[in-house]
Amino acid sequence: MHRGWWILTVAFTAIFMSAPGQSHSIGTFRDMMIRSMDNVTDTQYSTAYLFGTLFSGFALPFLGPLIDRFGARTLLPLTSMFLAAACILMSRVEHLPLLYLSLGMLRLFGQGLMCLLATWLIGEWFQEKRGLAMGLMGVGGALSVMIFPMLNRYFMLNYDWQTAWLALAVILLVTFVIPPWLTIRNRPEDEGLYPDWEHQPPAEHSSRTGEYSPHITQETWTRREALRDPTFWKLVMCITCTAIVGTGVIFYADRVLERVGMSGNEPYYVLALQAILATITCIVAGYLTAKIQARYLLATAMFLLAAAMGILVTMSSPWMALPFAILGGIHGGIIRTVGSVVWVNYYGREHQGAIAGAAVSVSVAGSALGPLPLAISEDIYGTPGPAMILFMCLPIIAGIIVLSAAPPKRNTVESSSGTA
């Protein structure tokens, strides 16, 4: 079997194990932790989450070039150890200062660096099959959304939230420190191989033009060149919108569902249904990246997200959770796959860590803002509804803008930047 498929297994696992730093896992602890801390409100907790996530966003542009230099074989085990340390710190939280520090570490090493390393590996080891590989990797994220909230809830109900955090730390240390170092290599060239093929270079890509052509560049873009490209910022706006809205919904969807009659684990079953649909969509979207330009897939995802938010805003009975889960799951599958593969496809392998790091840093910073408007709305109006109306409008704007994000051309960048 091609070694790249072993690499895919590690990347899949990295996305899955990033859960302690992801909103779908952190959000399950919110209510119980707030009740056990002295004089901490929803807004204060969300503000700590905001600053922790902003810290991650500001750090990622500096870490991206380190990935290009040192690779995932060295950095992935280190990231797992630091993420486990953050879980241990979270189990000791009693006051706001330690909450700020712990959330900062969780977001940096979980949501940020762990996922960035996984997508970097896929970008290095796959080319023609890159979209499919990213789709299969994205299944790890979908399964994470399905499993970890219920796993956390099990530990919290049968023990306490501190034990739940310690359990996550143990899982990370046991399963994902030594295995990545033993099983992966940074690039196929390190073993005399090439992406997708055992012993021969990939066929030269013929010039692919036309409305439905994929864009896998053979050029090498630097981060500075990518940052000057208008397409880069249109794509960033799209994934950042998803981060803002998605993070806020993860934190507060359970309350909306409870208000229409759901209780116990039922809100988490809705998330599980979303994850199942996202799993299927990840694979389909991976296949479609070879057929349809990324901008059309991303715009579709944005309009689906707007429709899902419209259902959430107007939800008046439990049955409306079904179309919400369907639309949200399809959206999530597209974003996980296309939003990951587009950077290396558009801007090349050599500096993909630096370029993707810059893009992800903006989306991570955006995700920091997600819970805050909803928390403020909850504190002032007693419901997150007013903020969710805003969240319904944002994806529509992002979807319209990303439709113009055509595959970049170097001469366009050079002409727009004068003397580049």
Q: What is the per-residue pLDDT across 48-103, written as a single tens digit (0 to 9) for each?
A: 888 888 888 888 888 888 998 898 889 999 999 999 999 999 999 888 889 999 99
- For the chain, give every domain's residue range: 3-188+216-412
Q: Which of 209, 214, 236, 245 is nearest to 369 (CA)?
A: 245
As a whole number, mean pLDDT of residues 17-31 equals: 88
Structure-token pair, residue 15: 């996305």
- For the cut 80, the answer to whether the pLDDT of residue 43 exceeds it is no
Q: What percent of the chain has pLDDT over 90?
A: 33
As a whole number, mean pLDDT of residues 371-400 equals: 84
Sign, CA dihedral 48-258-307-380, equals negative
Residue 411: per-residue pLDDT: 64
Q: Which amino acid is it at 281? A: T
What's the rounded Cα separation, in Å, for the pair 167 and 151?
A: 10
Q: Which amino acid is it at 276? A: I
Residue 215: per-residue pLDDT: 62
- Judge whether 248 and 309 are in contact, CB under 8 Å: no
With cut-offs at 50, 70 and 90, classify the pLDDT of residue 394: very high
Three-state SS for 381?
A: helix
Q: Which of 254, 243, 274 is nearest to 370 (CA)?
A: 243
Average pLDDT, the chain: 84
The three state secondary structure string of 119-167 is HHHHHHHCCCCHHHHHHHHHHHHHHHHHHHHHHHHHHHHHCCHHHHHHH
CA distances from residue 290 to 195, 204, 338, 399 in whole angstroms, order as listed: 16, 16, 11, 21
Beta strands in 216-260 (DSSP E): none
Over residues 284-341, the pLDDT tens digits come to 998 888 788 899 999 999 999 999 999 888 888 888 888 988 999 999 899 989 988 8
**Exposure of 105 in the CB half-sphere (CA atoms within 13 A):** 19
Three-state SS for 197?
A: strand
CA–centroid distance for 394 within its chain: 18
Over residues 69-82, the pLDDT tens digits come to 898 889 999 999 99
Over residues 165-218, the pLDDT tens digits come to 999 999 999 988 888 888 888 877 777 766 765 555 555 444 443 333 446 767
Three-state SS for 34?
A: helix
Q: Which of 245, 248, 281 is nearest to 396 (CA)?
A: 245
Arch. (CATH architecture) of 3-188+216-412: Up-down Bundle (1.20)
Backbone angles phi, psi at 192, to 5 degrees: 75, 25
- For the cut 80, the answer to whether the pLDDT of residue 271 exceeds it is no
Residue 194: per-residue pLDDT: 66
Residue 419: per-residue pLDDT: 35
What's the rounded Cα separation, in Å, for the pair 126 and 120?
A: 10
Residue 336: per-residue pLDDT: 86
Residue 1: per-residue pLDDT: 54
